Chains A and B, each alone.
Chain A
Amino acid sequence: MESPWDPEGVEICLQPSGELTDSKLADGMDLRALYKRVVAARCLDLRLARVGVPMWVSSAGEEAVALASSQLLRDHEWLYPGARDFAAYPLRGYDLDEFLRQLAGHRTVDSTGYNGRPGGISAPDVWIAHAPEALGAHLAMAAGQAHAELLKNTGRAVIATMGEGMTTVGMYRETLAMAAACDLPLVLIIKSQIWPEGAPAEAGVLGDSVADRVRALGIWARRADGADVVGVMRAVRQALTRARERRGPGVVEVVVTQLSHCKDAPAHRDPVERLRSYLDREGVWTPTFQDVVEAEARGQIERACEAVGLTGGTHG
């Protein structure tokens, strides 16, 4: 099932066929529950596509990053999200109404209104930071937060997420320099893509692997396959453990397939489909289960859209 879309240099936990490389790899993970969340994330993405948020880009195919960052951080550990990890907010328990209200740029009755990046959301209740406007600023801000955790000896880690295009930005380089110099408990999750027809300049691909480039800076790095939710969770957990134990910063490169752009990518590049194959093999997945999971997610999203007065079509 290897295809030009499958990354090299990754440790695969969930095979393209849906088989676990080793059953122990999923120890402590409830894959059925994870599946529900990843489906909910996809439903949210499909719904947001119709809301009309400025500069909005679909993150279908990238759900593993929002999933891992929202599920593996503990309470009081901050997430500084990139521009395309919307699912992380509800997955971390943020109120869907408030999420959509901010996303749409509405003011709440008694709030002064948020003034971040268009579509940016501030959710300190669930320890998700607002979205700065300058490119890469959320990375430096996350590093500052991590620095405070280190100085206060809290044993907490901080995650920031970003796309590989951000690796061309000065603040990314400078943040890595700071993180390495001060051994900050910072985990960067960097989404990269495989470009079978050559990378555009904005991708900043100076080699095949972001992880390789980071390693050359002397920073711990792992590469994971974004279609393999189990593998991504594993790599991010490792990075978080190191950070919490004051063993320094870490970078997890997650190779994703942007499903909205890459129409000819094989089905196993879709993290939802890959996890579904696993549940199917285990005899846990049925079409009825799928219908129930989707209906539940869509119902919640639709109710919130109505409550907030978001137009832009409903699920048909």
Chain B
Amino acid sequence: MAEQSVLTCLAEQLAQALQADERRVLLGEDVRDGGMLGLSRVAVADEQLADRIVATPLAPATTFVHAAGMAMAGLRPIVLLPSAAALIEGFAGLAEASRVDASTAGERQAPMVILAPCGPGFGLGGDNAATLEVALTALPGLRVISCGDASRVCATVAQALAADGPTVVLLARTALLCTAEVGGEPSEDLLVPQELHTGAQATVFSWGPALANTQQAVADARNAGFDVGLVDVVSLAPLAVDALVAAAATSGKLVIAHGGGRLQGLGAELAAVFADHAILHLDAPVTRVTGTPGPWPRTGEQAAVPSVEAIREAIDKVVNY
């Protein structure tokens, strides 16, 4: 294990993925020049991979469907996006790629992975600061994975690349900018909820761009003597209901912390899941703490995620309920 920047690790990982499996193809804007975040930099240096690094026009919808067509023909495309905002620009194409299996009654599949940086962190504001997960999880057939923990980004992406079916991996920008202990190939499944701490007094659920602040708030609470658990939800679609409900039942006092607005956010769905499946275990109202609804100005994009203080307050509230 060595300290490495997450972006460098990802770039190496993508090159290795292409080298290991000749069905893999890398698509995206500027990928021939290293990609918008330098993620194809290592792959481009290997001349043997040149045919399989495909620079695309600035056309997200067409790129997604193009990748689906490639996947239906037996390739395993990886699409690099400059920002998750491109998922919204290409929404029609994303929907099309997601339903190949259903539209063909299972006769054709589209195994492809889209890597999309999301949330605040680069000072871009606007759609770039958004988490967009609610739009994505509404698409039947699409798997949505959220990476918010810098130390797990590379390994999670590696597992996602091996997954079947169309998959979007949302990469929290705050995690991409980190240097972390990376390397090794963990044997456990990283595409399911990760219980980072167990706790008897409260359980906090979070994911993606809000995870870093949540980790800080939970650490503060634990240092203050509270026995608080933390679950990184990771898989936003499909939701791993059983695992989430089991985690919720350990404390019965739940906080859900996520980016974007509160209204009709994914936290509302989780709260409903807990009400449906864990109502007898609940000892306090399910508390949600979120970002503001946006749009966020460039200089105030941190408002897209809940602050450490707000999450800490919510933890105190449920613990003392």
Contact = CB atoms under 8 A, between A and B. Distances in A.
Q: Do A and B come from one complex?
A: yes
Interface of A: 78, 111-116, 120, 122, 124, 129-134, 137, 140-149, 151-152, 170-171, 174-175, 177-178, 181-182
A171 B62 contact: yes
B277 to A, nearest CB: 27
B61 A174 contact: yes
B95 interface: yes
Contacts of B75: 147-148, 151-152
Contacts of A182: 54
Given A151-B25, A151-B51, A181-B57, A144 B67 contact: yes
A182 B69 CA distance: 15
B62 A112 contact: no
Contact of A122 (B54, B66, B104): B104
18 contacts: A111-B105, A114-B103, A115-B102, A132-B65, A132-B96, A137-B65, A140-B93, A144-B67, A144-B71, A147-B70, A151-B52, A151-B75, A171-B65, A171-B92, A174-B59, A178-B57, A178-B62, A182-B54
Pick from A133, A143, A145 the residue with the most CB of B within 10 Å.
A145
A29 to B, nearest CB: 30
A124 B107 contact: yes
Nearest to A172: B62
B29 to A, nearest CB: 12
A148 B74 contact: yes
A140 B62 contact: yes
B69 A142 contact: yes
Pick from A112, A140, A143, A152 the residue with the most CB of B within 10 Å.
A140
A144 B93 CA distance: 12
B258 interface: no
Contact of A174 (B62, B72, B95): B62
A178 B66 contact: yes
A129 B73 CA distance: 11
A148 B77 CA distance: 10
Given A112-B105, A133-B96, A182-B54, A148 B73 contact: yes
B69 A141 contact: yes
B73 A149 contact: yes
Contacts of B54: 147, 182
Nearest to A148: B73
A112 B104 CA distance: 9
A131 B67 CA distance: 16
B72 A144 contact: yes
B95 A134 contact: yes
A177 B60 CA distance: 13
B317 to A, nearest CB: 45
A142 B62 CA distance: 11
A197 to B, nearest CB: 33
A225 B68 CA distance: 33
Contacts of B99: 115, 133
Given A140-B65, A141-B96, A144-B72, 8 more contacts: A111-B105, A120-B103, A129-B72, A133-B96, A144-B71, A151-B52, A152-B73, A181-B55
Nearest to A124: B107
A1 to B, nearest CB: 42
B118 to A, nearest CB: 23
A141 B95 CA distance: 13
B74 A178 contact: no
Given A141-B69, A144-B72, A151-B51, A134 B104 contact: no
Contacts of B55: 181
Contacts of B62: 140, 143, 170-171, 174-175, 178
B33 to A, nearest CB: 15
A73 B28 CA distance: 31
A207 B67 CA distance: 32
B106 interface: yes
Given A124-B108, A174-B59, A177-B57, A141 B25 contact: no
